[in-house]
Structure 1
């Protein structure tokens, strides 16, 4: 795929993903506004409460049917995208696209504590898959279109094109291949333009803030430790909540959303500001003047019901709910520091911003994405030092507690459930050689290639090389490798270690 063709494909995917995800965002916002009116109005008029219950039971039925028809729309969608790019999962793009779109609007729009970003990523990736299908692009070219669609979907969801591109590179591919980042950035910028036209230039989580001075950075260290420890707790619960549902809810898995969709009615009535992914409560933290106790209560409600919402399996993400929980933890820490006179009230919002970045960096183990994502969503570069510090500390603490990237762990669970067997087939993967890795400086014949893998091409500085046993591998080389779809994930993991670890 030439760079010119790559950019054209990126623009095409960006336009479609931007339009679809913008409509997705718009529909969720309007449905949630309607449901909030029903929930809060039900305190004075019981008929509105009954109407809200009726709508939610209908949502249970419709979403349940969609899940039964197409299980790949379940949950966030990010593990499915990762699995698809690894060749472990595949599905019909149109079947997933419209069902994820409709199911996500109904589940998230009802007020469940779920985010739009995971479904947006899957919507974008399926559009990329659809374009690949319609233009007869296969193998690596198809993978590139799927990954660029994922970046475009996230960009349109959050108006954060740079972070969206980095998310694909850091979280999904774990390398910075030129072919991947060029098309991903193109599609992300294009989709952001479309979403900006619809929703305006104002950043999604814009808030007035002052960066924390260095003399207060002891609180950044404390916050980073808290976020790392509690981030590990989040991982342990979110990865087990599905099994807990199976043991306690004696209904078919695709109708288990009846629990959160009934519980959301009283929660929406008494805590309407907590509905949805959490952007509303984040934006309201700086001016509402909540007490530390109220912030702790909000965190506990959000944490518990986020788990209940996601564990039901409905289409919806954890991306924005994680940011919301991190923002609340930052607000709690900042409130305590201010209450005891250690920090000025001027810097309260800085704690919220750092809390969001640190919590996401820990749970996803993607600190670069966390730093850039919050920078773009808040709309200021002045917090970069604090964001980098808290993200690295939270990341290190979670790593010391043996935490793994949450989306990778979710993918492992998904693969165990699906138990796909694709015997006798091969798929092409792409891997870049990093400086100081095992492959760097060795010849092809010196590499212990895993069984079921075959190196077919090397691209070095834009020049294609047909490999032989004596071809010297160098850092920066891009390897094109055919691997068997039987045990493909294990083969790919071994190749990644050889090309990225010394």
Structure 2
């Protein structure tokens, strides 16, 4: 009976995926592609199919998270509002970004982290207008979810004592471990579609049958391991299992997370990443406690810190990771250890050549040739960060892409009309006018230009 039910669910989801391929996976790469001008999707088609497909995929206990789908659903709502009010260009992207922030804020009860996730991971722009719009959406969504529906945060953990500074060497060592396993997670996740094709020879929409059938085995023998992992994480607050049990939990969750997400089913990796990070922290804490190098009262500290470190390494979004755990725990005293472990894991993944996972998934995504290219003017904003090679350059000295025109420089509250001898300063935001179809190409050319200037400066 279970096999028949799961096969039926898998076929329903497969039909939804065949009609709308962009509901596959978490949906965060799709939102990022929308904001970058690389993808164009119909918001209503995404909204109802992602909602139904996500519920059918998450319901049986597959190792998927709900946070990614929540972000894509909310971004679709933002796109729907933009369509209703006939908004385009920057205004449309602002509403999509605001919706994405609202989705994560509702899922985690973390409006600040939801806002920063959009800025750091999705929009890649710390423009004040983006910040304020995303924050407004996140606060509104969080208020509704808490006060109207009465939802509680997915994760709420606490610890009895702060980690002493004398034990911070554990954070460095654990951060290195998290970075290594984070890089492994990236590599395996990105190769899963190819493995599915080689091993199953099934069409992409039907590959979800594999996790739908295999999850029955996990549910039969160990039902407490099913789902995205929030129950597992909260269980650590009551009891931390022995070392070998924790290792077995990590192996099972890692393997089935890859099988679940690699099939292309509608579901995210946000919460599975946090749960795997928590298990790694528990393994490390229990091992160090058995070796007499760590008091048992600090194991919970490492579990909480490891969630941030693992996400910071895989997503390469350390600020989001730090704020997300801060809002979940509700305590500001752990900002320093969170920063240490997150930056350590980030640096390890960066040194190994790992890319932000959602950006890598977007690049891997096959773009349908039938997507209609819209020819209309659009704005591209380029922030000038501290130490940027653009600092001190004159506008006429820069070989701007011929497909774009520099029409403004936002400097604080002022809008500067650029001339040939206008100097570019740190903190400026350059506003370029280009065609929607050329937006990605222009951005890539400017990134390549900046990389060349930085290399010349070093030489």
In the alignment, what sits opposite 1:247? 198
Does structure 2 conserve the Cα–Cα contact (< 8 Å) formed by 1:440 and 1:499? no
Question: For the residues of structure 2 that align with 1:261 and 1:415, how far apart are their CA atoms?
Answer: 24
Question: For the residues of structure 1 that align with 2:290 and 2:149, how far apart are their CA atoms?
Answer: 37
Any residues of structure 2 matched to 1:171-190 within 5 Å, and which? 171-190=121-140
Alignment partner for residue 361 of structure 2, among 394, 410, 413? 410
Q: Is residue 142 of structure 2 the alignment partner of residue 192 of structure 1?
A: yes
Q: Over residues 400-429 of structure 1, what are the superposed CA-to-partner deviations in whole Å (9 max), with x where a residue is unaligned?
A: 111111111111111567696848655322
Alignment partner for residue 85 of structure 2, among 125, 131, 135? 135
Q: Is residue 182 of structure 2 the alignment partner of residue 206 of structure 1?
A: no
Question: For the residues of structure 2 that align with 1:490 and 1:198, how far apart are their CA atoms?
Answer: 44
Q: Is residue 78 of structure 2 the alignment partner of residue 117 of structure 1?
A: no
In the alignment, what sits opposite 2:7? 57
Question: For the residues of structure 2 that align with 1:386 and 1:311, how far apart are their CA atoms?
Answer: 33
Give unpaired runs (5+ residues) of structure 1: 1-49
Partner SS state of residue 237, structure 2:
helix
Does structure 2 conserve the Cα–Cα contact (< 8 Å) formed by 1:139 and 1:427? yes
Question: For the residues of structure 1 that align with 2:175 and 2:43, how far apart are their CA atoms?
Answer: 40
Alignment partner for residue 67 of structure 1, among 1, 6, 17? 17
Does structure 2 conserve the Cα–Cα contact (< 8 Å) formed by 1:161 and 1:188? yes
Partner SS state of residue 409, structure 2:
strand
Does structure 2 conserve the Cα–Cα contact (< 8 Å) formed by 1:453 and 1:482? yes
Does structure 2 conserve the Cα–Cα contact (< 8 Å) formed by 1:203 and 1:376? no
In the alignment, what sits opposite 1:360? 311
Question: For the residues of structure 1 that align with 2:200 and 2:439, how far apart are their CA atoms?
Answer: 35
Question: For the residues of structure 2 that align with 1:68 and 1:476, how far apart are their CA atoms?
Answer: 45
Measured after TM superposition, the shift of residue 174 of structure 1 is: 2.6
Any residues of structure 2 matched to 1:41-52 within 5 Å, and which? 50=1, 52=2
Any residues of structure 2 matched to 1:364-383 within 5 Å, and which? 364-383=315-334
Measured after TM superposition, the shift of residue 381 of structure 1 is: 2.0
Alignment partner for residue 491 of structure 1, among 439, 442, 445? 442
Partner SS state of residue 80, structure 1:
helix
In the alignment, what sits opposite 1:20? none
Q: Over residues 354-395 of structure 1, what are the superposed CA-to-partner deviations in whole Å (9 max), with x where a residue is unaligned?
A: 111111000011111111111112222222121111111111
Partner SS state of residue 300, structure 2:
helix
Alignment partner for residue 100 of structure 2, among 133, 146, 150? 150
1:295–1:366 CA distance, 2 compared to 1 (3 A):
same
Any residues of structure 2 matched to 1:318-333 within 5 Å, and which? 318-333=269-284
Q: What is the count of residue pairs matched by the alignment? A: 452
In the alignment, what sits opposite 2:457? none
Measured after TM superposition, the shift of residue 216 of structure 1 is: 1.5
Q: Over residues 45-69 of structure 1, what are the superposed CA-to-partner deviations in whole Å (9 max), with x where a residue is unaligned?
A: xxxxx1x333222211111111111
Question: For the residues of structure 2 that align with 1:342 and 1:493, how far apart are their CA atoms?
Answer: 48
In the alignment, what sits opposite 1:101? 51
Give unpaired runs (5+ residues) of structure 2: 455-459
1:389–1:201 CA distance, 2 compared to 1 (3 A):
farther
Alignment partner for residue 234 of structure 1, among 185, 188, 193? 185
In the alignment, what sits opposite 2:266? 315
Q: Is residue 237 of structure 2 the alignment partner of residue 271 of structure 1?
A: no
Does structure 1 conserve the Cα–Cα contact (< 8 Å) formed by 2:380 and 2:439? no
Partner SS state of residue 79, structure 1:
helix
Question: For the residues of structure 2 that align with 1:197 and 1:457, how far apart are their CA atoms?
Answer: 42
Any residues of structure 2 matched to 1:21-36 within 5 Å, and which? none
Question: For the residues of structure 2 that align with 1:472 and 1:208, how far apart are their CA atoms?
Answer: 50
Q: Is residue 399 of structure 2 the alignment partner of residue 448 of structure 1?
A: yes
Q: Is residue 400 of structure 2 the alignment partner of residue 400 of structure 1?
A: no
Question: For the residues of structure 1 that align with 2:6 and 2:148, how far apart are their CA atoms?
Answer: 28
Measured after TM superposition, the shift of residue 233 of structure 1 is: 0.4
Does structure 1 conserve the Cα–Cα contact (< 8 Å) formed by 2:17 and 2:23? yes
In the alignment, what sits opposite 1:11? none
1:439–1:92 CA distance, 2 compared to 1 (3 A):
same
Q: Over residues 232-271 of structure 1, what are the superposed CA-to-partner deviations in whole Å (9 max), with x where a residue is unaligned?
A: 0000000000111111122221111111001111211221
Question: For the residues of structure 1 that align with 2:148 and 2:311, how far apart are their CA atoms?
Answer: 27
* Bigger mean CA offset, 425-434 vs 442-451: 425-434
Q: Over residues 64-120 of structure 1, what are the superposed CA-to-partner deviations in whole Å (9 max), with x where a residue is unaligned?
A: 111111111110111111111110101111111111111111101221100111111
- Report the TM-score, using the length of structure 1 for normalisation: 0.86
Q: Is residue 360 of structure 2 the alignment partner of residue 391 of structure 1?
A: no
Alignment partner for residue 438 of structure 1, among 367, 376, 389? 389
1:418–1:370 CA distance, 2 compared to 1 (3 A):
farther
Q: CA RMSD in A?
A: 2.0
Any residues of structure 2 matched to 1:4-19 within 5 Å, and which? none
In the alignment, what sits opposite 1:29? none
